[in-house]
Amino acid sequence: MNYGISFDNFRKKFNLPWLCVGDFNEIIRSSEKLGGSNRSQAQMQLFRDVVDECGFIDLGFSGNRFTWQKHFSIGHSIWERLDRAFAINDWLLRLAGTKIHHHFANSSDHCPLWINTVGLDFHSAPKLFKFNEMWLSDWGCSEIVEAVWDARGSDDPTSRTVPKIEK
């Protein structure tokens, strides 16, 4: 299908390290399916072609090899690896340690994917408290501040001040 813009042009327009994760409703090879009728080679090839055109690299996984399952009342089941994570080379260069884990979920026919982005720092600096004078216009604010500030505490001014500010 041609939607007027290739993924390569889209990727160049937004120069980012791409990670694409989700339920693709397709398998890449026959070994990613157990049970049911065989998937056609032509259908799997179409999916592989799209993956190649996008420059995607399958990140692999740890855990159960199947991410979707269907059980029939007549006793047979189908298992497939439909959920996966792809990245482009830029992602792998920046976050080479990214790991994908398949987890068990009894509330869905798909298993959740846990993405561990080793090397990506999500730590943020502690937020500093800032008093906004406009809070004093809120009914009851000044009474609350005065009540906390007037409360009796330790005789040491330092140990009295910090807990009052925290309150």
- Taking only the tens place, the pLDDT of each residue in 22-40 is 999 999 999 999 999 999 9
Tokens of 60: 């692999």
Residues 104, 26: one domain?
A: yes
Which pLDDT score, from 0 to 100, does residue 154 have?
63
Residue-number span of the structural domain to which 149 is assigned? 133-166
Has residue 1 been placed in a domain?
no
The rounded distance, in Å, linking the Cα atoms of 40 and 10 is 30
Has residue 126 been placed in a domain?
no
Q: Between residues 61 and 163, which one has the greater pLDDT?
A: 61
Residues 144, 83: one domain?
A: no
> Which residues, including other chains, have CB under 8 Å from residue 92's CB and lie 6 or more apart?
57, 98
Residues 31, 106: one domain?
A: yes
pLDDT band at 4 (very low <50, low <70, confident <90, very high): low
Alpha carbon separation from 127 to 60, 124, 130, 131 (Å, rounded): 37, 8, 9, 13
Has residue 125 been placed in a domain?
no
Read off the CATH number of the domain in which 29 is found.
3.60.10.10
Residues 142, 97: one domain?
A: no
Residues 89, 138: one domain?
A: no
The percent of residues above 70 in pLDDT, for the chain, comes to 79
pLDDT band at 54 (very low <50, low <70, confident <90, very high): confident
Has residue 96 been placed in a domain?
yes
Residues 56, 104: one domain?
A: yes
Has residue 87 been placed in a domain?
yes
Residues 59, 108: one domain?
A: yes
Residues 140, 104: one domain?
A: no
Which pLDDT score, from 0 to 100, does residue 1 have?
46
DSSP-derived 3-state class of residue 57? strand
DSSP-derived 3-state class of residue 18? coil
On the question of pLDDT at 62 being above 90, the answer is yes
Q: Determine contact, residues 118/99, Cβ cutoff 8 Å.
A: yes
Residues 36, 97: one domain?
A: yes
Residues 110, 137: one domain?
A: no
Has residue 121 been placed in a domain?
no
How much is the mean pLDDT over the chain?
83
User: In total, how many domains does the chain have?
Assistant: 2
Alpha carbon separation from 33 to 28, 38, 65, 85, 101 (Å, rounded): 10, 8, 9, 17, 18
Give 86-128 pLDDT, tens digit per residue.
Answer: 999 989 888 888 999 998 877 889 999 999 887 665 556 666 6
Which pLDDT score, from 0 to 100, does residue 20 have?
92
